[in-house]
Structure 1
Amino acid sequence: MSNETVAQMQKQFDSIFGAPVRTYASLVVDHVEQVAKVQSDAAKAYADTAFKQVRTALDVKDPSDVRAYVENQQKVAQQLGERVKGDTEKVVSLNQAFVEKAQKVAQDSATTASAAVSKAK
């Protein structure tokens, strides 16, 4: 085989297999990074809320403080529920976008491979 033939085969291999694999790997890394950021932000927000509630509980000194603390717990629980819902929606959205992009990479790769096979015939 000549160097030109080998170079042609390497180029075809890269266009059919190498490039799609690199594209997909890049998608995976980006997706994992985005999901990790959402999770990190959520964990920080949940921890901040927990510490704030503990500090508020430590300031309870009389029955009126207890009543105010308990009443505030409903508000905190509602806010936390909304936060969890929002974080879940973010992750679902990221997952949907990832699936769509991964499908596009697979379709493009199949098209490229099909074209290469057709050209080889």
Structure 2
Amino acid sequence: MNKAAEKTSQQVESIFVSPMRSYTLTALDYYDQIVSAQLDAVRAYSDLSIAQARTWLDVKDADSFKKAMESQQKTASDLMERMKGDGEKVTAISQSFMKDSQQAAEDTTKKVVETAKQ
């Protein structure tokens, strides 16, 4: 009776607990990467906005207005490039998470099948 209980306990660990622990670790890593990417993006966007505001505060004449407009165009271009890169980064993180999750599901399915055969 004790061996049967031990075998059942091992099966539960193998089929349910271990895969859930693995998935949770994968999910936590994913959320950590996403939050870090978002914080980096917010910081960069804030820095760009503040720098642009400071540029406009320095406008005193037509020449400084022209420089501010040129700076505005460059900042808009830089912002678009940054947003594109941030989007690509989030996509890569998400694709990696999906791949890891699918692999974990496949591994769990194999374990269930193997356990069922025993």
1:1-121 matches, cutoff 5 A: 2-119=1-118
CA distance in 2, matches of 1:40, 1:3: 52
**Runs of 4+ residues deviating >3 angstroms:** none
CA distance in 1, matches of 2:43, 2:70: 24
Identity %: 36
Is residue 19–residue 108 contact of structure 2 (8 Å, CA) maintained in 1?
A: yes
Is residue 37–residue 86 contact of structure 2 (8 Å, CA) maintained in 1?
A: yes
Cα RMSD after superposing both structures: 0.7
CA distance in 2, matches of 1:72, 1:87: 22
Deviation at 1:6, TM superposition (A): 1.1
CA distance in 2, matches of 1:68, 1:104: 54
Deviation at 1:15, TM superposition (A): 0.2
Deviation at 1:3, TM superposition (A): 2.3
Is residue 52–residue 71 contact of structure 2 (8 Å, CA) maintained in 1?
A: no
CA distance in 2, matches of 1:38, 1:25: 20
For 2:13, give the aligned amino acid: D
CA distance in 2, matches of 1:57, 1:97: 42
For 1:27, give the aligned amino acid: T
Structure 2: which 5+ residue stretches go unaligned?
A: none
The count of corresponding residues between Structure 1 and Structure 2 is: 118
Is residue 26–residue 101 contact of structure 2 (8 Å, CA) maintained in 1?
A: yes
CA distance in 2, matches of 1:3, 1:47: 63
For 1:101, give the aligned amino acid: D
Query: SS of 2:70's equivalent?
Result: helix
For 2:5, give the aligned amino acid: V
